[in-house]
Amino acid sequence: MQNWMALLPASKHEADDASAPTWRPLDVRPLGWWALQFTPRVAQLEEAVVLECHASERLFGGREALRGRLVKGAQAQGVAAWAFASNALAALCVARHHLTQGGTQADDADACPATHKAEPELNALPFTTLSALRPHAGTLARLGCRTLGDVSALPRGGLGRRFDAASLRALDQAYGRSPLPLSWLTLPAVFDERLELPGRVETAAALLHAARTLLQALCAWLAGQHAGVESFTLRWHHGLRRQEAHAGQHTVRLSNPTRDLDRLSQLLHEHLQRLTLAAPVEDISLRAEQIAPLVTHSHSLFPEQGGDQLTAHPDGLLTPAAQRAQKEALWTLLDRLSARLGPERVLAGQVHADHRLEHAQRWQAALHTPPGARDASADTRAGLSPWPQPSWLLPQPVPLTLLPDAQGQHEHPHYQGRLQWLAGPHRVEAGWWDNAQPDSACTRDYYLASSPGAGLLWVFRARHAGDTATPAWFLHGLFA
C-alpha cells in the first residue's frame, strides 16, 4: 500500500502577508530538494510537493518514526499544511482543506495520523480542493454539489458531456481509479541560485535578509545530497538597468562541513559586517563551492544525562552527544574568529611524518586545511616514533653546561642540577634529503633525562661535531 504525503509551502499562500519578506521566492524546489533525503520519489504537483515514503519506512525505523521526522522537518522548512493519503492527488486535496481550516497545527507533529483512506475522506471535502473542478464551481453549485462526494455521485455520462475530460480524469485520479503521471524531481549537480531583490540595497549587512532565503535553499539541497558545505560564494550585482553591469563577490569558508542554517547565517553576518558595497545591489546569487559528505550519528540506546548540552559539570563531556556538541562549538568559534581577525591569524597545527621534532608539526590557517587533512593527521600519528615526545618544544635548542665529575675525568651535562639518564639513546638521522634547507640535516642521539630542579627533560647530543669548542649537548624540550 502506497503512503503519500503532500506539503504546501507557506510562501505560496503567505506572499501577500505584509509581515513576510517581500523577496521570499514562490519556488517549491528547495522543499523538494529537502524531501529527497527521505525518498527518491518526490515530485511537484501543482503548487505542492508530494512524496511517496512507503518504501523508506523500514530505513527510518517504521512508519510512525518516518512520519514524525517528515512532519517536524516540514515545519522547520516553513510548510503551511501537510497531509497523508493513499495517493498524491488525494493528499493534496486534504492538505488544501487543512489550509482553509487554518493550516496544520504544530501539536499535530507529535501525533502522526494514519493514512487517510481516499474515498471516505474525499467525499467530505469541498469540491474546490480539486483544482480541475474550480472552473465549473458555479455550475456545480447550481446543481446542489458542495463536496467531492456530491460530484462523484453524479452520472458519469452526463458529467463527461457537461464538463471537459480533464475534470473527470482528475476526479478518477483523486479517488485512485486511474493512475496519476508524475515527473520525479532530481537534484541539480551544482547549487547556483540567483534572487532578484525588490529594491536596491545600500549596505552589505542588509543583504543578509535576502541571502538567508538562498541559504535555506542551499541547506535543503545539501539535505538531499546528504552533505555539508565547506565553502560558498555570495555574489551581488550592481546597476542591472545600466548599459554595463558590475558585480562583486565574497567567499565564506568553514572549518568543517555543515548544513545548519543558523550557523551559516551567523557566519555570513560576520563577513557582511566587514564589507563595503561599491554601489547599490539589485540582485544576489549564491553558489556552493565545496561540499563534503556529512556523517550522521546514531542515537544512544539509553538516555544520556544532559543530552547534547554543554555544561560546566566535570562529567559533562562523558557522553558522545556532549563531545560532538563541544566539537561543533569549537568549529563555530573558529569560524567566527577567522571572520573577525582574519583567517591568517587563526592557525591550526597539522602533524607531519618527520622524526625531527621541530619539523613534525606545521601551522597553517584553520580554514584553509586541505580536505582530509584531519584524517591524514590521525594516520600520520600512528607512524611516529613510539618514544616519548615532549609536550613543550623549545624554539631553539639550548646548550647545556658540562661540569666534570668528582674524579675530574669526565664531563656531565647539567641543567638546574646534574642530569640523570632515564632512557636512550634514541638516534635520529634525518633531513639530509631536504635540498631547500641544507641546514635542516641533523644527526642526534636523544635521551630522556631527569633534572633535580626542572623535572623531565628531552636532551640530545650532536654527533660528529667537528669543532671541539662547539657545544655537544642541548636541551630541546620539557615534559609537563
User: For the residues 307-324, what does the mean pLDDT come to?
Assistant: 62
Burial of 92 (0-12, 13-18, 19+ CB in 10 A): buried
Backbone Cα Rg of the chain: 34
Residue 19, all three cell numbers: 509581515
The answer to which of 73-77, 90-94, 359-363 has the lowest mean pLDDT is 359-363
Put simply, whether the predicted model's pTM sits higher than 0.85 gets the answer no
* β-sheet bridge partners, residue 363: 349
Distance between CA 144 and CA 332 in Å, rounded? 62
> Could you tell me the CA-to-CA distances from 58 to 4, 95, 243, 369, 402 in Å, in that order?
15, 25, 58, 38, 74
Rounded Cα–Cα distance for residues 228 and 236 (Å): 23
Give first-to-last CA distance, the chain, whole Å: 66
The model's confidence at residue 3, banded by pLDDT at 50, 70 and 90, is confident
Q: Average pLDDT for residues 191-201, to the nearest whole number?
A: 89
pLDDT score recorded for residue 311: 57
Identify the CA nearest to 252 among candidates 272, 238, 237: 272
pLDDT greater than 50 at residue 350: yes
| pLDDT above 70 for 440 | no
Asked if 4 and 16 count as a contact pair (C-beta separation under 8 A), the reply is no
CB neighbour class for 243 (10 Å; exposed up to 12, middle 13-18, buried from 19) = exposed
What's the chain's length in residues? Answer: 480
| Mean pLDDT taken over the chain | 81
* Distances 429 to 31, 395, 444, 445, 446 between C-alpha atoms, Å: 60, 20, 7, 9, 11
pLDDT for residue 269: 92
CA separation for the pair 368, 448 (Å, rounded): 36
Lowest mean pLDDT segment, chosen from 29-43, 89-103, 141-155, 374-388? 374-388
Give the tens place of pLDDT for each residue, 245-299.
Answer: 578 899 999 988 999 999 999 999 999 988 888 888 888 999 999 999 987 766 6
Under DSSP, is residue 2 helix (H, G, I), strand (E, B) or coil? coil
pLDDT above 50 (res 113) = no
397 vs 305 pLDDT, higher one: 397
| 220: nearest Cα among 80, 73, 322, 52 | 73
Give the separation between CA 251 and CA 286, rounded to whole angstroms. Answer: 10
Residue 96 has a pLDDT of 92
pLDDT value at residue 426:
86
Alpha-carbon dihedral angle through residues 183, 185, 188, 189, given to the nearest 10 degrees:
-100
Considering only residues 344 and 227, tell me which one the structure prediction assigns the higher pLDDT. Answer: 227
Give the H or E element holding residue 192: strand 192-201
**281-293 β-sheet, strand order:** 192-201, 281-293, 227-238, 246-258
Decide which of 206 and 40 is more confident: 40
pLDDT at 241 over 60: no
